[in-house]
């Protein structure tokens, strides 16, 4: 398909579709890679440098879990634990779509998929139960390796 860049506009254009869908596809690839790279562990309390960052930012692992759960129920697509290189802290972010709300100068440490396709077969509409199960399989060594 040929895209005429001279015909670009913000309502609809091939240039817009190409650029937006490129980030949707590429970030979807990254999100799912981080998701699958950081599960398969034994969950439980965070370990290593990430545990220290979580404690500094949230006061305790339990506070972070509480925030992750409520963020996960409020999100439409993803919850990201990311390290902010400017503020030198971690934070639980919402990503409503594969390519929404990217934050510059962050390192993505953990990506929890909360699209319905991630849990509906096993948990039905009980997203909170899925998040509980997710917490039991986080691979904290893999999360630390991303830092």
Could you tell me if residue 8 is left (phi over 0), alpha (psi between -120 and 50 degrees) or otherwise beta?
Answer: beta
* Residues from 45 through 104 that contact Fe ion (CB under 5 A): none
Considering only the stretches 12-20, 47-55, 95-103, 111-119, report the one whose residues sit in contact with Fe ion under the rule CB under 5 A.
111-119
The residue at minimum Cβ distance from Fe ion is: 113
* CB-CB contact of 106 with 83 (8 Å): yes
Q: If binding is defined by CB under 5 A, does position 113 make contact with Fe ion? A: yes
Nearest CB to Fe ion, comparing residues 53 and 77: 77
Nearest CB to Fe ion, comparing residues 51 and 128: 128
Q: How far is the CB of 5 from Fe ion (least distance, A)?
A: 32
Considering only the stretches 1-9, 18-26, 58-66, 115-123, report the one whose residues sit in contact with Fe ion under the rule CB under 5 A.
115-123
Cα–Cα distance for residue pair 29/107, rounded to 1 Å: 16
Burial of 146 (0-12, 13-18, 19+ CB in 10 A): middle
Q: How far is the CB of 130 from Fe ion (least distance, A)?
A: 12
* CB-CB contact of 111 with 27 (8 Å): no
Non-local CB neighbours of 103 within 8 Å, separated by 6+ positions:
82, 84, 93
In the complex, which residues of this chain contact Fe ion (CB under 5 A)? 113, 115
């Amino acid at each position: 398909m040929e895209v005429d860049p001279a015909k670009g506009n913000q309502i609809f254009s091939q240039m817009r579709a190409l650029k937006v869908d490129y980030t949707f596809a590429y970030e979807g690839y990254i999100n799912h890679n981080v998701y699958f790279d950081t599960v398969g562990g034994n969950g439980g309390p965070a370990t290593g440098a990430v545990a220290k960052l979580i404690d500094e930012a949230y006061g305790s692992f339990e506070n972070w879990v509480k925030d992750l759960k409520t963020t996960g129920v409020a999100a439409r697509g993803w919850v990201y634990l990311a390290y902010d290189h400017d503020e030198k802290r971690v934070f639980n972010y919402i990503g409503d779509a594969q390519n929404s709300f990217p934050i510059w100068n962050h390192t993505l440490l953990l990506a929890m998929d909360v699209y319905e396709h991630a849990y509906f077969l096993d948990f039905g509409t009980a997203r909170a139960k899925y998040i509980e199960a997710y917490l039991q399989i986080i691979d904290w060594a893999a999360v630390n390796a991303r830092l």
